[in-house]
Copies of this chain bind each other. A is one copy, B any other.
Amino acid sequence: MNIREEAHKMKLASPKLAACSAEQKNQALSAIADALMAGREEIFAANRSDLAAAREAGISDAVYKRLKFDEGKLDSVIEGIRQLIRLEDPVGKVLLARELDEGLVLKRISCPIGVIGVIFEARPDALVQISTLCLKSGNCAILKGGKETAATNRVLFGIIHQAAVSCGLPESCLLQAELHNEIDELLSCDRDVDLLIPRGSNAFVRYIMDHTKIPVMGHADGICHVYVDRDADFEKAIPILVDAKIQYTAACNAAETLLVDRSIAADFLPLAARALKDAGVAIRGTKEVTEFIKAEEIADDDFRQEYLDLILAVKLVDGVEEAAEHINTYGSHHTDAIITENAETAEYFMQMVDSAGVYQNCSTRFADGFRYGFGAEVGISTGKIHARGPVGLEGLITYKYRLVGSGQTVGDYASGRRSFHFRDL
């Protein structure tokens, strides 16, 4: 397959998909849900062959779980599609309507971005979520999933694509890339692809950013902090800290660093150390921390590391000001939490910490499209441009300006023969 040619075909088809009505898109989603249900045995069989090959290659239990696509996961993606159908159509909303002058009306109307390339890890449920989010938002999508679930992906993609086309969506609405070298081809399609969403390791996202002219919406790091303030309730702090670290260590929203107000270090650190030890977490800390608890000593620059493992870095700070400064300097602007009962201190933290998510008295692990009630997410953005944090339907939408006149020229306004009156409608 020639990705460049296919991407160009997709570009030409994209206004047709953008023009599809909400009803048509919802019908297609409904057909996709039904077809997935009807094709379950074929899907599971493909997945069993992927799993067998993966076992042979000696993958870990954690990865095995991610590759597996069973009844439970099928039910959950189908429930996700049903939720997506119920969500309001994000396309065609009038975001601004203004009469510039008599007979000259400007409207800003929401519309799909166009052609989106998504490169994601080996997780069959992600393929279903991403493709249906793109269709609901009227975007054509090129999907490249992880090779470990190639057979499952091929079956899922075939079912989804056929169901979409059978409901009248354009043939080129979805495309699957299967070969790794097709990623590099995709990166060169800056004339036809409007946005890339890479998911995966830090190094991988960085590689994508460095090798394309297409705008990239991805996150490159998840260095999340829990700051325990002098006014913290320890009964909240300990379970939150443990949850943020261990509930799913490989997730980008897992905590990597614990900051503790120096004035409570003697009381809090031993409690935290015990709870973390019970949870199997190894502690690293500054020299000062090692005076309170057993920890491997680390230097300031080590606080830039994303462990994604049962390891936590610990540092003492002089109050919320230094905590915010540390987070803004060493963090990755993903999600950071303060544990405090002091509303003023919390407000300062939430105002000053420059991250997509700023939390008080809850776990950083809540940073997720499902948990925010977005139905699904295509990824979590740590950039500040376009979309920030978990990206759902809204993040796949842009707008265009429509101006309807009756013969107006700018010369008439420049010369003063006519003038604008700007009245919002």
Interface residues in A, total, Cβ within 8 A? 79
Query: Which chain B residue shows the least CB distance to A191?
Result: B329
CA distance A362 to B243 in the complex (A): 59
Interface centre among A113, A235, A371, A389 (most CB of B within 10 A): A371
Check A386–B388 contact: CB distance below 8 A. no
Q: Interface stretch among A8-16, A55-63, A160-168, A267-275?
A: A8-16
Tell me how far the C-beta of A264 lies from the nearest C-beta in chain B, rounded to whole angstroms: 17
Query: Which chain B residue shows the least CB distance to A96?
Result: B372
Check B385–A195 contact: CB distance below 8 A. yes
Could you say which of B248, B360, B408 contacts A366, with CB atoms under 8 Å apart? Answer: B408
Contact with B along A214-234 (1 / 0, CB 8 A): 010100000000000000010
Tell me how far the C-beta of A378 lies from the nearest C-beta in chain B, rounded to whole angstroms: 14
A257 at the interface (CB under 8 A from B): no
Check B384–A113 contact: CB distance below 8 A. yes
Q: Interface stretch among A173-181, A310-318, A410-418?
A: A410-418
A94 at the interface (CB under 8 A from B): no
Within 8 A of B (CB), among A380-425: 383-386, 388-389, 398-411, 413-414, 420, 422
Check A351–B209 contact: CB distance below 8 A. no
Interface centre among A244, A361, A372, A403 (most CB of B within 10 A): A403
Check B362–A389 contact: CB distance below 8 A. no
Check A401–B372 contact: CB distance below 8 A. yes
A356 at the interface (CB under 8 A from B): yes
Check B399–A354 contact: CB distance below 8 A. no
Query: Which chain B residue shows the least CB distance to A251?
Result: B410
Within 8 A of B (CB), among A350-372: 350-363, 365-367, 371-372
Check B351–A383 contact: CB distance below 8 A. no
A324 at the interface (CB under 8 A from B): yes
Query: Which chain B residue shows the least CB distance to A14?
Result: B354
Check B213–A407 contact: CB distance below 8 A. no
Check B194–A384 contact: CB distance below 8 A. yes
Query: Which chain B residue shows the least CB distance to A389?
Result: B401
Tell me how far the C-beta of A82 lies from the nearest C-beta in chain B, rounded to whole angstroms: 15
Check A243–B194 contact: CB distance below 8 A. no
A202 at the interface (CB under 8 A from B): no
Within 8 A of B (CB), among A236-279: 236, 239-240, 242-244, 247-248
- A411-B358 contact in complex given A15-B324, A388-B399, C-beta closer than 8 Å: no
Tell me how far the C-beta of A370 lies from the nearest C-beta in chain B, rounded to whole angstroms: 8
Residues of B within 8 A of A104 (CB): 362, 366
Within 8 A of B (CB), among A166-192: none
A98 at the interface (CB under 8 A from B): yes
A373 at the interface (CB under 8 A from B): yes
Tell me how far the C-beta of A173 lies from the nearest C-beta in chain B, rounded to whole angstroms: 16
A45 at the interface (CB under 8 A from B): no
A interface residues, Cβ below 8 angstroms from B: 11-12, 14-16, 18-19, 98, 100, 104, 106, 113-114, 194-195, 209-210, 213, 215, 217, 233, 235-236, 239-240, 242-244, 247-248, 324-325, 328-329, 346, 350-363, 365-367, 371-373, 383-386, 388-389, 398-411, 413-414, 420, 422
A–B Cβ pairs within 8 angstroms, 29 of them: A12-B325, A14-B354, A15-B352, A15-B353, A15-B354, A16-B352, A18-B351, A19-B351, A98-B372, A106-B373, A210-B213, A215-B215, A240-B407, A240-B409, A243-B410, A243-B411, A244-B409, A247-B411, A346-B404, A356-B401, A361-B404, A362-B404, A366-B408, A373-B420, A385-B385, A385-B386, A388-B401, A389-B400, A389-B401
